Structure 1
C-alpha cells in the first residue's frame, strides 16, 4: 500500500535521533493509532519518564533490551519487546545510549482486540511473548530481519489484521462509553454513561475495566490529563490550561499532574532531554 510517512530528525553535540512516523492501513485505524521507527544515539545512558496517555504502546527493540518499569510494577524488567499500558502514574525506561525500535501506539480497545482481556495490564510492562507466546517472538524476528520501515510497517499491518480478525469484539456499551469520554475530553459525568448504556454502575465499571484496563472514572481522568498536557506543551499558562481542561484551579491541576507524571508540571517541562525526544527522570 501507499503510505504517507513523516520523516523527522534532530540532535545536539552529544546525541542524535531520526524517526519515521506513519499510519496503519485504513481498516486498522480503530486499533492502531500510529507506527513509528526510531533510531537514537547518545554519548551517555538515557533515562526517560513516560507520562501516560489514553493509549497503549507496543515497543519492539532491535538494539538490545531496555530496562523498564510500569506505573504499578514493583521492580524493573529487562525487555526487548513489550506492551506498556497506561495508569495513574508514569513509566520509566533506561538504555545505554543506543536505541533502535518500532513503537506502535494502540487504542485502548485495540489492545483488547489484539490481546484479549486487559484488566491486569494497566500500569504494567508486559513482555510481548507473555501476551502472544511464540507468535510474539516470530513478529520480533520478522521485524528485525526486514529491510527498513516501509517493510516493517507492512508486516505490522498484516499481523495485526490477522489478529483482529480472530480476536474478541468489545461490547458496544463499552465502546460507546469510551467514545463519549474521548469526545468530551473526559468531562462526561459517569452517571450519564450509566444511563446511556442501560447498565448498572457496577456492571459498566467491571466490563469497561476488563476491556480497557481502566474504570470509566479512571479513563476520564486520564483523557482530561492528556488534553491538559497537550495544551501546556504549546506554552499555554498553567492557570489557563487548568481551567480550560476542567480542573478547579491551578493547584488542582498540579496535584493531578503529580499523580500521573510523578513530578510537578514545571519540573516536567524543564526535564526535556537535550537533543532527544521526551523527558528525563531527574
Structure 2
C-alpha cells in the first residue's frame, strides 16, 4: 500500500488571513502536526472521514489559541482548511482569547455558523472557492469586533516585527503605561502575557528555519537563543518534540509548505 500523504493547497492570491488546505490523498491513516503559531489557529474539517486529535477525542473542526501545546490531527478521508487569525481579533470567534487555553471545538464557539460553513466547504470542489468562503466568513465575524487598544496593538506589532527579540519590559515605558496595566490589557486581548507572546513569536521563526533545513546550532544563534539547550527547551515546550524530530516531521513539513 502506498504511504499515506497529504495533498497541500495554497490560495492563488494573498488574502486577509493566511490559509492552507489539506486533503488525505492515499490509503491508511494520516497525521499532521499543528504547532502553536503567533495566531489563533482554526482547522475547518469537511471530509468524509473523522478528524481526531492526540487524545483520541473526535473534535472535527477546532480552534487553538496561543497557549495550547502542539497537537497532532489524524484520520482517514480527512480534508480541511486551516486559517490563522490575528490574536487581536479572537473575539470574532465568540470568545475571548484568554479562554482559548485549550483546543476547543469550533461548533461550541460559533454554533450553527460552523455547521453551515462545513456544508459549504463540502459542496464545492474548488480550493480557491473554499478559501474565499472561509475568508468571507471570518472577515464578517471580525468586522464586528471592537478594535484593540492602540497601545496593545502597537506592542503586538513590535513583538512580531522584532521576531520576539524585543525587551518586553521596556514596552510599557515607551508609551507611559505601567507594566501591570500593559500585562493585564495585553493578556485580555491576546490571550497570553507579552513575554509568552515574544517566546512564541521567536519559536515560530526558529521552527521555520528548522523546517528549511538549518541546523539547531544555526537556528539557536540566528534567533537569539542563549545556546542550543535553550532552543531545545522552547521547541519541546511549544511542539512537544525535540528540534530534530520537529524538523523531520512530514506533517509539520506539509503544514509549513502550505504557509510558506
Range into which the TM-score falls when normalised by the shorter chain: 0.7 to 0.9
Instruction: Give CA deviations for 1:145-195 in whole Å, capped at 9, x if unaligned.
Output: 234223222322332232222222211111101100011111111122111
Residues 107 and 41 of structure 1: is their aligned pair in 2 closer, same or farther, counting only changes over 3 Å?
same
Matches within 5 A, 1:112-131: 112-122=91-101, 124-131=102-109
Give the match's secondary structure for 1:203: helix
Instruction: Give CA deviations for 1:172-224 in whole Å, capped at 9, x if unaligned.
Output: 11110110001111111112211124322222122212211111000000011
Give the paired residue count: 255
Q: Over aligned residue pairs, what C-alpha RMSD do you find?
A: 2.6
Structure 2 partner of 1:6: none
Structure 1 partner of 2:188: 210
Matches within 5 A, 1:11-160: 13-22=2-11, 29=16, 32=17, 34-63=18-47, 64-68=49-53, 76-87=56-67, 89-95=69-75, 97-122=76-101, 124-160=102-138
Give the match's secondary structure for 2:122: helix
Shift of 1:102: 1.6
Q: TM-score, normalised by structure 2?
A: 0.86
Segments of structure 2 that go 5 or more residues without pairing to the other structure are: none
Residues 181 and 56 of structure 1: is their aligned pair in 2 closer, same or farther, counting only changes over 3 Å?
same
Q: Is the 8 A contact 1:46 1:94 kept in 2?
A: yes
Report the more deviating stretch, 107-116 or 236-245.
107-116
Q: Is the 8 A contact 1:24 1:153 kept in 2?
A: no
Segments of structure 1 that go 5 or more residues without pairing to the other structure are: 1-11, 70-74
For residues 36 and 133 of structure 2, the distance between their equivalents in structure 1, rounded to whole angstroms, comes to 27
For residues 219 and 94 of structure 1, the distance between their equivalents in structure 2, rounded to whole angstroms, comes to 28
Give the match's secondary structure for 2:99: coil
Shift of 1:278: 5.3
Q: Is the 8 A contact 1:17 1:39 kept in 2?
A: yes
In terms of fraction of residues, the more strand-rich structure is 1
Is 1:198 aligned with 2:176?
yes
For residues 234 and 16 of structure 1, the distance between their equivalents in structure 2, rounded to whole angstroms, comes to 19
For residues 137 and 193 of structure 1, the distance between their equivalents in structure 2, rounded to whole angstroms, comes to 41
Structure 1 partner of 2:150: 172
Instruction: Give CA deviations for 1:229-263 in whole Å, capped at 9, x if unaligned.
Output: 11222222212211211111111111222111212
Q: Is the 8 A contact 2:97 2:191 kept in 1?
A: yes
Structure 1 partner of 2:229: 251
Shift of 1:25: 6.8
Structure 2 partner of 1:277: 254
In terms of fraction of residues, the more helix-rich structure is 2
Q: TM-score, normalised by structure 1?
A: 0.80
Q: Is the 8 A contact 1:52 1:222 kept in 2?
A: yes
